[in-house]
Structure 1
Amino acid sequence: MKNLTLVFIALIAALNFTACTDDDGFTFTAKPDPEGVVFTNSTLETYNLMASSSDNLAERFVWNEVDFGVQTPVNYEIQGATTESFETFSVIGVGTQTNLPVTVGNMLSLAREAGLDNDPLTPEPNTGMIYFRVRAYVGADAGNVVEQFSDALAISVTLPEAEEEEEIQLPQIFVVGNFLTGGGYGSDWTPADAVPLAASAEGNTDYEGFVFVNSDTPELKFLPTNESFDGDYGDTGENNGDFSGTIEQEGEVNAGTPDGTGGYYLINVDTEALTYAMTKTSWGIIGNATPTGWDSDTDMVYDPATKIWSLTLDLTEQEAPDNGIKFRANDAWDLNIGDNDADGTMEFGGQNIGIPEDGNYTITLDLSNPRQYKYSITKN
């Protein structure tokens, strides 16, 4: 997971159209946003695509809000293509939010269109590039549309050899409950919108993930799949919302949080030991590259729309691993994340992250993909 931040300058379409007219004759004219459409999320160096994990989140694309200067919602469309020219493309999703999750299956479909395969007898047949872009537009019919496009985002993808696939697939369970709407995940108590937790390896039952449990009175359950409530796990307590730290599948109640309140939680579940733990977290950075050094944290802010923690501040040049910054939770060292070997892969308790030069930086921390945590450090 490389700390690459991609910034794309939009193509500005010089189009105007009448968006709406009120009874007094006022006319709102849509005009392209001079800021354009810009991707703001970081991406991995390469995405490994496995058919067995097609439903898993591969990436959450995030971009800025576009202002066409009219009182009508702006629609956003993510397009995927096998060539940078987008002569032909697939529409991955459409909506009014400025982010969209893209699954492994979405990327896998494009990779196969591009001619990639996983035949081990062919030299490197399974690595190539696919492309994404955002279309922002207002207007409904073909004659009354003003639109802008981001630059093409090139993504490197790899299809593992068929015999390797089962060895590297991480099992998942899912958290469902009355927090899904408030947390920005979807509809409450809907298995398809449940939040995944991932095990450390195939055959292991130690599931982990971060979940924004945004509810005043949290209630949740753990599902073996995100298709139904069959085989669901709940708390062993007597009342819905109890937290005992133990789970069962028969006679269970809806689980709660340790203090009965919502928050951004690290959730650990062991379906063999029938235990679970929930640690409420609030994230910040610390280090001698920050204005307060190693004495105190600088708090980050969580955005439920993008599922990302972020902040902007001045940093000084520092060389890792002895210096730099780290991410930590709750102003304490009990839960901290770094980057061993400066390879972009985040580890709990990992090494400090270096800062290449003095400047003002935007820092992001993305914990939304279980056990595939990433960050970005971008000089402004």
Structure 2
Amino acid sequence: MKLNYKIKSFALVAAFAATLAACTEDTADVRLEPGLNTIQNQNVTAFTAEVEGYIMAKDEAFTEVGIVYAFTQEPTIDDSKAIFEGERTKASFKVTLTGLDYARKYYARAYGIYPGGVLYGEELTFTTLPRVPMVAISSLTYEDGASAGFTAEVSDDGRGEVTERGVVYATAANPTVETGYKVVDDEVGLGVFEGVLEELLGNTAYFVRAYAINKGGVGYGEDKEFTTEILWAEVETGDVTAINKTTATLNGATPYDGGAEITARGFVWGLSDAPGLNDNLVDMMDAEGDAFSFVLEELELNTVYYVRAFATNSKGTAFGETKMFKTLADITKLHVVGDYNGWTNNASAPYIISTESSGGTAAGYIYLTAGDLKFIMEPGSWADETTFGDDGTGNLTNPGANIPVAEDGYYYITANLSDMSYTLLKRNWGIIGDATPGGWDAQTALTYDSELKVLKGAYALTAGAFKFRANDNWDYNFGSNDADGNLQEGGANIPVAVAGDYAVTLDLSTPNVFKYEANRWGLIGGATPGGWDSDTFMTWDATNKVFTVTVDLTTDQYKFRANGAWDINLGGALGALELNGSNIDVTAGNYTITLDPWTKVATATLNE
């Protein structure tokens, strides 16, 4: 490189020549520091930028250094420039460009003036950030209550994309997106938007301003202020707990006073479904904290009551939700303990119980073995006053003698502690009707399963109807008024729509809640002849006590299904089927399939 001006004392030529293979008169020993872009990009704002230069000659070579910049390429000192005013003790120098236009692309390069002219470094570009958007609330409407409406507009996006807009509000002036509550609009960009401030506190001054966000930051509008009125107190009526025959616990809370002092609070209750201040009132002003509770006493047995919590401030009286509760009837529950269960006296012992309409008579079905028993009111206790036995005349007394059970069987047991009576009646249950093998003339017996605690049987039923009857006596019969699996004493005949082999179950194990099933079982699935559209029904094998079918299956899946519908279906592992279990995989072949629907155990045997 040949220069007219000799700077022998700088040792510049050797250093620069070792660095660059060639140089022009415009570009000499001044250049931008490598890695400048990263440093500069971190310090570019809407109106300023930091640029760094690097001098590869001795400092004395230059009388002035700095950065030139413009909107066009290859800016010179005739364009805008920022002179480095600091002491040049190091090879690098840094200047801040100010007064820049926002969201504009600039070209910049370092320069150095020496007696021979001006040298320029490599050119770089940067783009200033957008200016924050201009946004303002045009209307703010508050009339009453806990909400206020607003309309706002983003009028200038600052040459940047507005990515979020909305309003912020707080109880202190000049809220920000960090310090206030935000209502974010669903849309972005320029334009008018509106919304609602909700869940405002009563008797409170609020400050609201619009905001919009772009890459340049957050722009805010002018503060708007309004004050809410005193609101109704917030009142909560909790669930009524610890409901007994004559007592119940009321629960309530006043989590917010509405912006004014609460002068009265408590409960109103009575027999009407919207109790008010003129009904029964419980004053809870002395209770500490927001929540409060009260135990009502001397209530009527088996009676429906209604209750509401209330609170009064200067706005008026507010009520919580109405809660309904019903006191307990005079229910008697007696556990039956005796030889049949090894005299195990605890809460797991079978029991009989009265209903609201049974006049205090507890009843239930239990399978007993020959031996003795007693009635226990308090499980685990043999105290005389809660233990009941026979008084020698066929009535109950405390603690009384053991009550004898003559023979094994399924017994209907009753006891009434008002008249101290009891009965044990063995009932032999079966099915009867024109759908059953014996028609309407003879009942077909069911068998008690001690493991499942149900009566069951498998029968070839015809289209028709049937009922459950005990002891060949119509005084003891169950039907189903809705044919829905629930039984009622003397209920309607149970229809059988299609002839076939059925698994029939009578479940009397839960006192006063009696159920039945009558299921015709079959296979369904892609592996079966009918696919997933129709069932291949099974027949009863009386010898092996299972339902069975021999059928050609393809490689696919199948399930067990009752009555050609999906209400009751079994799947999963054959040895432990589950209701609504997974499909069962099978490979092609001729199979004998068996199913015990009560134990939910099946087999699939491939025939040779």
> Which has the larger share of strand?
2
* Larger gyration radius, structure 1 or structure 2: 2
Q: Please, what TM-score do these two structures have when normalized by structure 1?
A: 0.49
Q: Please, what TM-score do these two structures have when normalized by structure 2?
A: 0.31
Name the structure, 1 or 2, with higher relative contact order (CA <8 Å, separation 6+). Answer: 1
